[in-house]
């Protein structure tokens, strides 16, 4: 016990000893009683004659301040192969940002694999052991080193596709307005009178608005545009189809009224067109009002459909309501087509049914093609498909029903006479 006590007391005093020896080296002991380590770093070098000798290329002196203990002259080192570069002291190179490292099985820690970050993830430091997921409104840059804002996508007025649709819709609406002006100017001519002027004016005015509905689908979706665009389009188109149906019914009634002893003359007044248009449009109005009251559409930022892109779109809230609206419009178009088809062989003085039949065929073809096109596209192209369907179906009605009449009114005025129309009918009766 006495020896152990003396040894501990001696060790206590030795820790505080500090002096220089005869050659000027400082001697002291650390807290563990160890003297400072001083080493010379030697390099084993081979001479040209094959003999081996040692060359001092550096030092390690624990007595120096921290960070200065080790010094080495790399240029004095002779490597295994003369003239070669400094050999790599690790198994694997560092993983740059955008990658993360995983250990190689059975290998030391300095051996690892560098794996690129998965889609939607980044790493922003060297030798990262994991990657981080970007927030929903951000996306990795090309090197996966930082999160950057996602690209916004919507059908813009400025891009070629949006600008083209806008130009076509504008031209079509102006052309429809010009045709309406022609019919108003020549309202007292036979061909305008023979085809129910009031329904003609209403149909042309509605077609103007149907073309203008396209603008509600282009541009950044807003609360108001999302709320009214589908309803405005649905009601406007049903009003168009109801006018076409009323015109067709009036053609049939007018033809039957010419037969001796027919009771159809009492239906030649405005009651039938008003009831047909009002009843047909009312059904669509009810569907749209219920849609807006129970589940109104709203704008949203869709971050899931396309990788790295935020789609600015209108959430229709209820797909069932949208398809009910389109289904009602299609049903009314089918009825109008059927009535016009059955009346297509009426005499030439009432041959508007032939053009209505063709216009309804074009109308139905466009919207039947719209369904697979709409369901198979995403983002702005889905909107472009619907806008194209609106423009092309409206243009089909305008071209098939009114272009032949405009041709006669403007270029063949000699045929725009009551005697000419009745004469053709009389010739056929003979």
* Per-domain residue ranges of the chain: 99-149, 160-429
Mapped onto helix, strand or coil, the DSSP state of residue 237 is helix
For position 142, what pLDDT does the model report?
Answer: 85
Instruction: Return the exposure string of 296-321: e unless at least 16 CB atoms fall within 10 Å of the residue's CB, then b.
Output: bbebeeebeeeeeebbbbbebbeeeb
State pLDDT tens for residues 26-61. 677 766 667 777 888 888 888 878 788 888 888 888
Residues lower than pLDDT 70 in the chain: 1-16, 18-19, 21-26, 30-33, 81-90, 254-270, 344-351, 418-430
Tell me what percent of the chain is helix, strand and coil, each rounded to the nearest 5: 55, 15, 30
Q: Which helix (H) or strand (E) holds 59?
A: strand 52-61
Can you give the pLDDT at residue 430? 41
Which backbone phi and psi does 112 adopt, to 5 degrees?
Answer: -150, 165
SS3 state of residue 113 = strand
Superfamily of domain 160-429: Rhodopsin 7-helix transmembrane proteins (1.20.1070.10)
CA distances from 18 to 33, 36, 61, 380 (A): 12, 11, 16, 82
pLDDT at 13 (0 to 100): 65
Sheet of 38-46: strand order equals: 38-46, 52-61, 70-72
Q: What angle do CA 304, 309, 310 make, to 5 degrees?
A: 70
Q: How far apart are CA 135 and CA 116, in angstroms?
A: 19
Quote the pLDDT of residue 342: 78
Q: Tell me if residue 400 falls in helix, strand or coil.
A: helix
How far is it, in rounded angstroms, from Cα 249 to Cα 336?
Answer: 9
C-alpha–C-alpha distance, residues 312 and 95, integer Å: 37
φ, ψ at 79 (rounded to 5°): -85, 175
pLDDT of residue 425: 47
Residue 415: strand, helix, or coil: helix
pLDDT at 1: 55
Please list the alpha-helical segments (H only) found in 258-351. Answer: 271-294, 319-342
């Amino acid at each position: 016990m006495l020896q152990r006590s003396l040894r501990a007391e001696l060790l206590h005093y030795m820790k505080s000893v500090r002096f220089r020896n005869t050659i000027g080296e400082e001697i002291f002991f650390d807290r563990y009683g160890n003297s400072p380590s001083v080493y010379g770093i030697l390099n084993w070098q081979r001479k040209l004659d094959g003999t081996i000798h040692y060359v001092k290329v550096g030092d390690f002196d624990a007595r120096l301040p921290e960070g200065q203990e080790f010094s080495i002259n790399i240029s004095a080192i002779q490597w295994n192969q003369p003239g070669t570069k400094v050999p790599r002291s690790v198994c694997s190179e560092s993983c740059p940002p955008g990658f993360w490292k995983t250990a190689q099985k059975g290998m030391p820690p300095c051996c690892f694999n560098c794996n690129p970050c998965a889609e939607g993830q980044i790493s922003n430091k060297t030798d990262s052991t994991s990657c981080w997921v970007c927030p929903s409104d951000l996306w990795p840059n090309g090197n996966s080193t930082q999160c950057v804002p996602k690209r916004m996508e919507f059908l813009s007025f400025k891009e070629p596709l949006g600008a083209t649709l806008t130009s076509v819709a504008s031209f079509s609406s102006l052309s429809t307005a010009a045709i309406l002006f022609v019919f108003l100017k020549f309202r007292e001519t036979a061909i305008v009178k023979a085809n129910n002027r009031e329904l003609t004016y209403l149909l042309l005015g509605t077609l103007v608005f149907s073309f203008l509905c396209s603008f509600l689908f282009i541009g950044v979706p807003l609360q108001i545009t999302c709320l009214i665009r589908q309803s405005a389009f649905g009601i406007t188109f049903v009003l168009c189809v109801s006018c076409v149906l009323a015109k067709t019914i009036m053609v049939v009634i007018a033809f039957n009224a010419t037969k001796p002893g027919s009771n159809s003359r009492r239906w030649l007044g405005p009651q039938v067109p008003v009831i047909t248009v009002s009843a047909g449009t009312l059904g669509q109005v009810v569907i749209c009002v219920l849609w807006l009251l129970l589940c109104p559409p709203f704008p949203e930022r869709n971050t899931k459909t396309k990788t790295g892109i935020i789609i600015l779109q209108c959430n229709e809230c209820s797909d069932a309501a949208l398809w009910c609206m389109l289904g009602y419009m299609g049903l009314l178009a089918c009825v109008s087509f059927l009535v016009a088809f059955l009346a297509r062989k009426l005499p030439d003085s009432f041959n508007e049914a032939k053009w209505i039949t063709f216009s309804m065929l074009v109308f139905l073809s466009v919207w039947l093609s719209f369904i697979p096109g709409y369901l198979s596209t995403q983002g702005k192209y889905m909107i472009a498909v619907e806008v194209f369907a609106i423009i092309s179906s409206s243009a089909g009605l305008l071209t098939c029903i009114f272009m032949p009449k405009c041709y006669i009114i403007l270029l063949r005025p000699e045929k725009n006479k009551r005697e000419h129309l009745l004469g053709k009918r009389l010739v056929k009766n003979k």
